[in-house]
Amino acid sequence: MQNGTLYGIGVGPGDPDLITLKAAKILQQVETVFAAASTKNSHSIAMEILSPHMNSDVPVVRLGFPMTRSKIELAHAWENNAHQVMEFLKQGRKAAFITLGDPMLYSTFGYMYRTIRNKAPDIPIEIVPGITSYQAGAAAAGEILAEAEESVAVISGALGAQNLKRIIHQTDNVVMLKVYRNYGKIMDMLDELGLMENATLISRCGLEDQEIIHDLRNRPDVPPPYLSLLLIRKNNRNG
């Protein structure tokens, strides 16, 4: 039997209208949707984005993985998850694996993609890009990501502020995702670099309780929610 196709689908950052036409069409055709949401919260956001675009009788299977930093445990969980998806596809059925934002940017889809590619290279995989959180964030905040000859670096704050310190001298603009856990350290680093004024914090972009803070000298003293990102401009622009 011919293998079914796996569609790696980016569903955008939160607003159900920010899903692509292609993604919406594919969601109408698949027989199952797999979702690997690391938190209950991001899983339910993904569900809200999906519900206007697919039939309610299509099952959505949530793939679990442990909240651990142990690479061995995580690899084991991903093997099991990939196995479950491959078994489905081997029955000749089509499935989608959904990701918030874009599947090729800091996404659990990356692990699934690599594992299936290695174990079953014959399974067709099609990837449908999504609008990233930071594209939606820049639009919502009215912040230009880069212009003319400027550069923009996309980094993670998951391990603290060292990535920011390392990159800031080599780029004009920085997008920092995963800022919530080390928020205090990241704020201290922005302060040290004299960039508080040039930073914008965007939380829960596209959702009902979206929040945007320009100029972080005025920020409230509470850590932001998980879905939060920073846009940082190194120099002021003319005009």
Ligand X SMILES: C[S@@+](CC[C@H](N)C(=O)[O-])C[C@H]1O[C@@H](n2cnc3c(N)ncnc32)[C@H](O)[C@@H]1O
Chain residues in the site for ligand X (CB under 6 A): 13-14, 99-102, 105-107, 132-133, 137, 177-179, 202-206, 226-229
Give min distance, CB of 32 to ligand X, in A: 21
Q: How many CA atoms lie within 13 A of 131 on its CB side?
A: 19
Alpha helix stretches (DSSP H) within 90-132 = 109-119
Residue 27 or 227 with smaller CB distance to ligand X:
227
Give min distance, CB of 98 to ligand X, in A: 11
| Spatial distance between the Cα atoms of 210 and 219, rounded to a whole number of angstroms | 15
Asked if residue 123 lies in contact with residue 3, where contact means CB atoms within 8 angstroms, the answer is yes
Residue 86 or 176 with smaller CB distance to ligand X:
176
Residue 150 or 211 with smaller CB distance to ligand X:
211
Give min distance, CB of 35 to ligand X, in A: 13
Residue 65 or 93 with smaller CB distance to ligand X:
65
Give min distance, CB of 141 to ligand X, in A: 11
Nearest to residue 176, comparing CAs of 194, 154, 203? Answer: 154
Other residues' Cβ atoms within 10 Å of the Cβ of residue 40: 9
Measured from each CB, the residue nearest to ligand X is 101
Residue 81 or 99 with smaller CB distance to ligand X:
99
Q: What percent helix, strand, coil does the chain show, rounded to 5?
A: 40, 20, 40
SS3 158: coil
Cα separations (Å) of 127 from 6, 63, 132, 135, 228? 8, 19, 14, 19, 25
Give min distance, CB of 137 to ligand X, in A: 6
